[in-house]
Amino acid sequence: MELSPGLHRIECPIGPRYVAVYAIVGSKYTLLVDTGFDDSIRTTVVNYFKEKKLSLDAVRYVINTHSDYDHTGGNKAVRELMPNALICAGERDRPMIENLNSMFFDRYNEFEKDHGFAESKDAKDFMMTVAFETNVDIGFAGNERIDLGGRYVEILHTPGHSWGHVSILDEKSRAIIIGDAVLGNSVLLADGQPAFPPTYRFVEAYRSTIRLLKGYQASEILTSHYPRYVGQAGTDFLDLSLNYTDLIEQICLDTLKRAGKALTMMELIEIAHDRMGVWVDPAYKYLAYPVLGHLEVLESYQKIKRSKNSAGLAQFQLA
């Protein structure tokens, strides 16, 4: 749909969810934000461009907001179908975007060695059937400004979900496209029901990102897996997300106090997940992302300490 003149939201199905891809159209160039899965570009985006009489040849910049395969999986299709496009991303996410094996083992299986939580081979096989990598042409650090022809966008460094996450401010509409920079208190299914926990990872960076975005007083907050949030609804979404970080941190600390002994990350999640959200097994296990982030914060504050159990897994207890 065209949200405002020259600003388009294209919802691409990914199973029971969707990823929203955005197009910003200037007088010279079009910018595309995220590429979904391979089929998202080849089918949904191409069909939308035809319907709206937009030119694939005019796409000059394609920005991956971050290193998740449902946001980068169509990069190879972009190379084939948008011949003038430059693929761009946050510089710190470039290695994982250019190498899906790195994305899988360094991002999705980060928890396996020290915390005993791993993605399955089936998950990796699925990723390799829907996402195809290519090189990144331009790496952003934040604060870059792009002229699309009478229409400027600004690149914002918005880490927390990943270190290199970027968001895009459309200066004309004052809308900010945030990808997965902020994730509420649950990622949603297409019907609005909870799908799995908010997978932010680097807590203090995430909190800083939320405060940064609030400071822009955007006309609307445009996400990848949620409805559009216009005006006050955008501020409410950011506040909900920030408040959720405080809730999870307190639950982690309370759970360790009540346990009176050292717990591994996954033991803590098994005990406390029903206080953190309404997801069922196995979805609640993706609390590994925020929970480990908060355990690291509490450790840095010297409120808890880390050791290893007999299996070699990290465990945490009150300091």
Using one digit for the tens of pLDDT, what is the confidence trace for 22-54? 999 999 999 999 999 999 999 999 999 999 999
pLDDT mean over 119-144? 97
292: enclosing H helix or E strand? helix 288-300
Query: What pLDDT, on a 0 to 100 scale, did the predictor assign at position 295?
Result: 98
Q: Please, are residues 238 and 210 in contact by the beta-carbon 8 Å criterion?
A: yes
For residues 94 and 36, what is the distance between their CA atoms, to the nearest angstrom?
Answer: 16
CA–CA gap between residue 167 and residue 150 (Å, rounded): 20
The pLDDT assigned to 261 comes to 97
According to the model, what pLDDT value does residue 149 have?
A: 98
- Identify which of 70, 65, 68 has the alpha carbon closest to the alpha carbon of residue 19: 70
Q: What are phi and psi of 63, to 5 degrees?
A: -110, 120
The mean pLDDT of the chain is: 98
Percent above pLDDT 70 for the chain: 100
pLDDT of residue 222: 98
Phi, psi of 27 (to 5 degrees): -75, -20
pLDDT at 319: 96
Angle at 82 between CA 140 and CA 123, to 5 degrees: 70
- Token representation of residue 2: 């065209």
- With bands split at pLDDT 50, 70 and 90, how would you rate the model's confidence at 113? very high
Instruction: Please tell me the predicted confidence (pLDDT) of residue 30.
Output: 98
For the chain, which domains are there?
2-241 (3.60.15.10), 251-318 (1.10.10.10)
DSSP letter for each residue of 202-228: -HHHHHHHHHHHHHHT-SEEEESSS--
For residue 201, what pLDDT is reported?
Answer: 98
Task: Name the residue type at position 95.
Answer: P
Query: Residue 220 and residue 217: Cα distance in Å, rounded?
Result: 8
**Digit-coded pLDDT (tens) for 222-241:** 999 999 999 999 999 999 99
Share of the chain above pLDDT 90, in %: 100
At a CB cut-off of 8 Å and minimum separation 6, what does 229 contact?
220, 221, 222, 223, 236, 237
**Going by DSSP bridges, is the β-strand pair 194-196/187-188 parallel, antiparallel, or unpaired?**
antiparallel
Are 221 and 234 contacting, i.e. CB atoms less than 8 angstroms apart? yes
Q: How far apart are CA 301 and CA 278, in angstroms?
A: 29
Q: What is the mean pLDDT of residues 280-288?
A: 97
Q: What is the pLDDT of residue 187?
A: 98
CB-CB contact of 167 with 65 (8 Å)? yes
User: Cα-flanking dihedrals φ and ψ of residue 205, to 5°?
Assistant: -65, -40
Q: How confident is the model at residue 180 (pLDDT cuts 50, 70, 90)?
A: very high
**Average pLDDT for residues 282-303, to the nearest whole number?**
98
Q: Quick one: pLDDT at residue 107?
A: 97
Q: For residue 249, what are its two tokens? A: 């941190």
pLDDT at 191: 96
70 pLDDT band (50/70/90 cuts)?
A: very high
